Amino acid sequence: MFKFKNFHQSCFFIVAFTITFASGCKTNPDTMSSTQIVPPLVEAIPYQHKIHDHIRVDPYYWLNQRENTEVLDYLDRENDYYQKMTAHTQPLQKQLYKEMRGRIKEDDTSVPYFYNGYWYITRFEEGKNYPIYSRKKGVLTAPEEVMFDCNAMAEGHDYFRLVGISVSPDNTKVAFGLDTVSRRQYTLRIKDLNSGKILKTQIENTTGGSVWAGDNTHLFYNRKNEQTLRSEAVLKHNINNPEGMDELVYEEEDETYSVYASSSKSQEYIFISSHSTTTTEYRYIKADQPHAAFRVIQPRTPDLEYDIAHFGDYFYLHTNYNKAKNFQIMRTPIDKTTVDHWEPLLPHREEVLIEDIELFDQFMVVNEREQGLSRLRVIRWDETADYYIPLEEETYTLYISYNPEFKSKQLRYVFNSLTTPSAVIEFDMEVKKKKVLKTQEVLGGAFKPENYKSQRLWANARDGERIPISMVYHKDTPLEETTPLLLYAYGSYGHTVDPSFSSSRLSLLDRGFVYAIAHIRGGEYLGRHWYEDGKLLKKKNTFYDFIDCSRFLIEKKYTSAQHLYANGGSAGGLLMGAVINMAPDLYHGVIADVPFVDVVTTMLDDTIPLTTSEYDEWGNPNEKTYYDYMLSYSPYDQVKPQDYPHLLVTSGLHDSQVQYFEPTKWVARLRSMKTDQKLLFLDTNMKAGHSGASGRFDSLKELAKKFAFIIDLEKKSS
């Protein structure tokens, strides 16, 4: 789950393409005019891609050489150009950072949760970037045991991330994953919680997650392919033999699948799940039998998806079995798990998407979504109760929180909205009363929810569909043609962008911006069909929906093209690239974060991370039908001689999801072909990857740069 000297636009026009920018030349930006700052140029070396009797010429293919000093030099020159051209916004960036940080409660603590005899707590200390993970035995008044102080662990690292905390059943050891490169290749380590010492176990190239067997000795973990980074196998490790050969438990040979180990809420079973975009398959053993052979629950069947939960004598399934597009809930006896034994519990409904379930000893809680709005349905096993938890607000975010205990009548869930800070709520399912355990504090004294308004609009798409738009703004902001509006969307993988609260976003709203989310096809906001209508050979619906939402906002005079801004990241960055090729005149400025823009080249290269596992999302361009369709919208391939909006593109040198060379090549091609004099920036984080900076305050600095970009554009256009 964006935001002064006046430079004339003519200053950014490249008068002659023979101008070069020497990387060793150091110029003081305070003593030079903007006419002396020229964009860096990079050599075009035509490379021919040949497939399906078609030739694509790629002039910047050579930029995919990460270790090439000329490539690194070009990235440095782009960063230098960006820094010099935005030097006048430094005071604004600092002010934005100060505002955003000032709203955060720095010495913050999570709501404790109780599990297996301990209360677990995550807390932050004032002035520190990273969390501290701790626990207390039995009662909250017990002495604190610090498991991990990530601030101390992060010292000496430009990037740091700790994931996959997994405590052994006997509470004496904890496994965890570390990434200090931002490549999402985690080193698995184990800490002895009695002595505080780190054990010899050091397993490279994992997903960071792991599952303990009931014997407190064996650990199941996921190994990644070193080149593609696909989670391709599950191995078993004996902590008493850390230097021995780990046993291969299961290897997923189909490259369109990834594989993961997990455990049931009951801790009685260990699962191995194989996932493609549209198909799943689970295996299981008893957790106290780590050397047993895994049994398949239901063999993989094309387009059959199911997730597993365990309670009592049954496995419970969240599944689309028998064409249940919006999913249903079923169960099956543990000793009879194939589909012919599956019993329906909650049937499929055309208008309601079932997203998740949570099991308790007396209740089942179902997370549903209808017309884009989530709701929680509580069903008692003895059928004496079946009701929805009451909610308010027109547009909001709601999801089930962590509930590790079966024997409880208390459900924890999280609620927030575009105007309401996030709250962790405990709901008594017996007496139907809720208690707010914690509400996000917004410091600084200026924030009052009543000062902001939110609403949901419906735009008409060109094919007759209605596209929801969630919108928030300050109550004093007029909705008119001169109002600046930032429109955000993602639109892929069925990922739903819910309208959630952001204290950082207040820096835009308080400056008169409207923030809006377009719930376009490719996500599941309106159900499974909403996703399926925005993928594969229907992918262009995603782009058309965003363009149609933009035109709707302009036609209804909520803003105008001179004041409309757009933002999306990763697959949402592909969206940004596609829409500015198709309708560049609708936007004054665009921010494309780590954008997936060289679609065809990437999807043809099965050595690039995540490629083969995403054929079900984008299509396999080795098949001509998909090749032609993907080529018709691929942002890099569709760059043309035309005017484009002002553009800020971000990237990460170590990005494992969207390789740095995609946005780099895209910017180079745009520079060589666009016909306007507008801003075009490439900001590459040379020390991070897909998610940017790892520290909570460092990430605010990156956000401040993006906010400053559009605020500065708006100031110049007013």
386, exposed or middle or buried, with CB in 10 Å at 0-12, 13-18, 19+? exposed
pLDDT digits 0-9 by tens, 165-213: 999 999 999 999 999 988 788 999 999 999 999 999 999 999 999 999 9
DSSP class of 174? E
pLDDT digits 0-9 by tens, 440-469: 999 998 899 999 999 999 999 999 999 999
Residue 582 has pLDDT above 60, yes or no: yes
Calpha distance 210→444 (Å, rounded): 41
pLDDT band for position 393 (cuts 50, 70, 90) = confident
Do 364 and 357 form a contact (C-beta atoms < 8 A)? yes
How many other C-beta atoms can be found within 10 angstroms of the C-beta atom of residue 638? Answer: 16
**Main-chain dihedrals φ then ψ at residue 372, nearest 5 degrees:** 90, -15
Please work out, in degrees rounded to the nearest 5, the angle formed at the alpha carbon of residue 528 by the alpha carbons of 522 and 529: 75
Residue 717 catalytic?
no
Q: Which domains does the chain have, with CATH numbers?
A: 16-101+458-717 (3.40.50.1820), 111-156 (no CATH), 161-296 (2.130.10.120), 360-442 (no CATH)
Catalytic position from the list 274, 690, 694, 712: 690
**Main-chain dihedrals φ then ψ at residue 309, nearest 5 degrees:** -130, 150
Alpha helices in 566-660 (DSSP H): 571-582, 599-604, 615-618, 624-633
pLDDT digits 0-9 by tens, 73-93: 999 999 999 999 999 999 999
Do 69 and 83 form a contact (C-beta atoms < 8 A)? no
**Main-chain dihedrals φ then ψ at residue 410, nearest 5 degrees:** -100, 120
Catalytic position from the list 134, 470, 503, 570: 570
Calpha distance 148→399 (Å, rounded): 27
- At residue 690, the pLDDT reads 58
Calpha distance 74→256 (Å, rounded): 34
Residue 507 catalytic?
no
Calpha distance 518→690 (Å, rounded): 23
Calpha distance 574→155 (Å, rounded): 35
Q: With pLDDT > 90 as the criterion, what percentage of the chain qualifies?
A: 85
Q: Provide the terminal-to-terminal Cα distance of the chain, rounded to the nearest Å.
A: 30
Q: What would the mean pLDDT of 390-413 be, rounded to a whole number? A: 93
Provide the mean pLDDT of the chain.
92
**Main-chain dihedrals φ then ψ at residue 6, nearest 5 degrees:** -95, 120
pLDDT band for position 17 (cuts 50, 70, 90) = very low
Strand partners, 577: none
Residue 570 catalytic?
yes
pLDDT digits 0-9 by tens, 415-439: 999 999 999 999 999 999 999 999 9
pLDDT band for position 30 (cuts 50, 70, 90) = very low
pLDDT band for position 688 (cuts 50, 70, 90) = low
Pairing of strands 145-149, 132-137: antiparallel
Residue 23 has pLDDT above 50, yes or no: no
Residue 568 has pLDDT above 60, yes or no: yes
Calpha distance 305→279 (Å, rounded): 5
Measure CA 495 to chain center.
9
What is the crossing angle of helices 540-555 and 624-633, to 10°?
30
Calpha distance 286→272 (Å, rounded): 12
Q: What would the mean pLDDT of 155-165 be, rounded to a whole number? A: 92
pTM here is 0.89
Query: Which of 241-245, 263-267, 311-315, 550-554 shows the lowest per-residue confidence on average (mean pLDDT)?
Result: 241-245
- At residue 114, the pLDDT reads 95
pLDDT band for position 689 (cuts 50, 70, 90) = low
DSSP class of 661? H
Cα dist from 596 to 464, 499, 577, 640, whole Å: 28, 24, 9, 18
Q: What would the mean pLDDT of 537-554 be, rounded to a whole number? A: 98
Do 541 and 528 form a contact (C-beta atoms < 8 A)? no
pLDDT digits 0-9 by tens, 104-126: 999 999 999 999 999 999 999 99
How many other C-beta atoms can be found within 10 angstroms of the C-beta atom of residue 579? Answer: 27
Catalytic position from the list 80, 637, 655, 683: 655
pLDDT digits 0-9 by tens, 346-378: 999 999 999 999 999 999 999 999 999 999 999
pLDDT digits 0-9 by tens, 588-614: 999 999 999 999 999 998 887 768 788
Cα dist from 348 to 61, 240, 588, whole Å: 48, 48, 44
DSSP class of 610? T
The 3-state DSSP class for residue 6 equals coil
Do 328 and 335 form a contact (C-beta atoms < 8 A)? no
- At residue 228, the pLDDT reads 84
